[in-house]
Amino acid sequence: MHVVIIGAGIGGLTLAQGLKRAGVSVSLYERDRTRTERLQGYRIHIAPYGCRALHACLPADVYDLFVSTSGQANSTLAFFTEKLDELITLNTTEIGMDTAHLTDTFRSVSRITFREVLLAGLGDVVRFGKTFTHYTHEPDGLVTAHFSDGTQATGDILVGADGTNSAVRAQYLPQAAHSDTGAVAISGKVPLGSEVAQLLPRPFSTGGAMVLAPHGYFGFLAVHEFRRDEGGQALSLSPDYGIDPQLLFDNTTDYVMWNVLARWQKFGDRKAISAMSAEEIRALVLRTVGGWHPNLLRLIEESDTGTVSVHPLYTSRRPEPWQPSNVTVLGDAIHAMPPTAGAGANAAVVDAELLCRGLRAVGDGRRLTDAIGEYEKAMLDHAFTKVAAANRNLEQGVADNRFALAGFRTFLRLAGNVGPIRRKMTAAIAR
């Protein structure tokens, strides 16, 4: 059996790692001309269930590399008002989770570093500079992927892992297109020096923080501190994995990442914003949230404009069941979601683990379409639970409803003082 994967994102690379580890023939095709063409250096949140899926797919040494190059493990999620009044802090140590555990912990990882780790050892699998155009079925039942340069790749199964604007999904499941939420996230990063650290309340040092603000705005902030060796130097990638450390650029600097989310109209005209420079976007955010705590405004002011970016937020609706075949999809290609549940990357690696498990069963004699059908049902059940949570969180955050906001803030304050409720909420974010 040979598997053809389209797209070298998190899900596609995790699947390739898992299949190679299992001895399944696999090739992966990526439109970027090189591994560094579109580096995006922001933080990815990997939950315990994502860590477990990665651990199941990656070779042991590559998983160890993931752990050693991730940031300091996270243990808290705090909620604040825009004036930095603390509402509640959820702490995973309260439900028995150990931040030193190999898999059952939250991890913070740079997207650049994470992609490099997932590429480790896949030099014979990944082909760059291959833009997928369409696929065709062969008379013998195989499927052929066609690329814009005129080349082809034929396999027993084709997997579309090519992101939100998936060309594989567009051909195979055109009814499953994503949709615009009408909301936007504006984000940036500021180096975590001693002065910046003093701007942050205590819970910020051990995890992420939500800022619940009035008038249809909310924020998310997270500290990314790289793990250190005994000499205090940030751990970097080993040349033994076929990775050039220079590819990381300035990628071992501790930082704070901030995001401000709202509906587009809260910031102004969408086309005008899309045409703004980074400096203009930062100034726009500062004007828009000018009533927030001075420390939050200072973080935005201190941001490197090279890190300030605008992200339209998309979502998806669970499609009606379809007949399984030797074409399938995973990750954002089928279940795009806003980042408001911290679940996008996690869902992609869970997809990869589910599909890898199914394809291993095919190698043991199971019928291919049965394995694919079982994967697709499990994938849809898991992923669209996360999509629903992300949509719910986004709608709650951007709703310009002062009564609902006041009620939610009151609930969080009360829950923070009731141990069973607080622990139940904490357990929910780990699933």
pLDDT at 246: 52
Q: How many Å separate Cα 395 from the centre of its chain?
A: 19
Q: Using alpha carbons, select from 224, 226, 225, 218 the residue that is nearest to residue 296.
A: 218
Contact residues for 282 (Cβ-Cβ < 8 A; gap 6+)? 188, 300, 301, 303, 305, 308
Position 271 pLDDT exceeds 70 = yes
Contact (Cβ atoms closer than 8 angstroms) between residue 4 and residue 143: yes
Position 217 pLDDT exceeds 90 = yes
Q: Using alpha carbons, select from 266, 424, 351 the residue that is nearest to residue 16.
A: 351
Question: What tens digit of pLDDT does each residue of 362-402 get?
Answer: 988 899 999 999 999 999 999 999 999 999 999 999 999 99
Beta strand 218-224 pairing with 255-263? antiparallel
**Strand order from edge to edge, sheet including 143-147:** 132-137, 143-147, 152-155
First to last CA, the chain: 33
Both tokens of 47, joined, read: 């939950």
Both tokens of 309, joined, read: 């970016």
Position 404 pLDDT exceeds 60 = yes
Question: What tens digit of pLDDT does each residue of 219-234 get?
Answer: 999 887 766 554 555 5
Contact (Cβ atoms closer than 8 angstroms) between residue 235 and residue 228: yes
Q: Using 50, 70 and 90 to split pLDDT, how confident is the model at 248?
A: very low
The model carries a pTM of: 0.91
pLDDT at 235: 54
Spatial distance between the Cα atoms of 362 and 19, rounded to a whole number of angstroms: 12
Question: What tens digit of pLDDT does each residue of 51-73 get?
Answer: 999 999 999 999 998 988 887 76
Q: Using alpha carbons, select from 349, 355, 424 the residue that is nearest to residue 90.
A: 424
Pick the CATH number of 76-103+183-314+401-431 from 3.20.20, 3.30.457, 3.30.420, 3.30.9: 3.30.9
Q: Which residue has the tokens 């954002």?
A: 332
User: Where exactly are the structural domains of the chain?
Assistant: 76-103+183-314+401-431
Spatial distance between the Cα atoms of 166 and 272, rounded to a whole number of angstroms: 27
Q: Using 50, 70 and 90 to split pLDDT, how confident is the model at 250?
A: very low
Question: What tens digit of pLDDT does each residue of 294-311 get?
Answer: 999 999 999 988 899 999
pLDDT at 350: 98
- Give the HSE-up count for residue 160: Cα atoms under 13 Å, Cβ half-sphere: 28
Using CA atoms, how far residue 192 sits from 173, 199, 208, 225, in Å, is 44, 10, 14, 8
Mean pLDDT of the chain: 89
Both tokens of 116, joined, read: 């490099």
Question: What tens digit of pLDDT does each residue of 406-426 get?
Answer: 999 999 999 989 989 988 888
Q: Using 50, 70 and 90 to split pLDDT, how confident is the model at 83?
A: very high
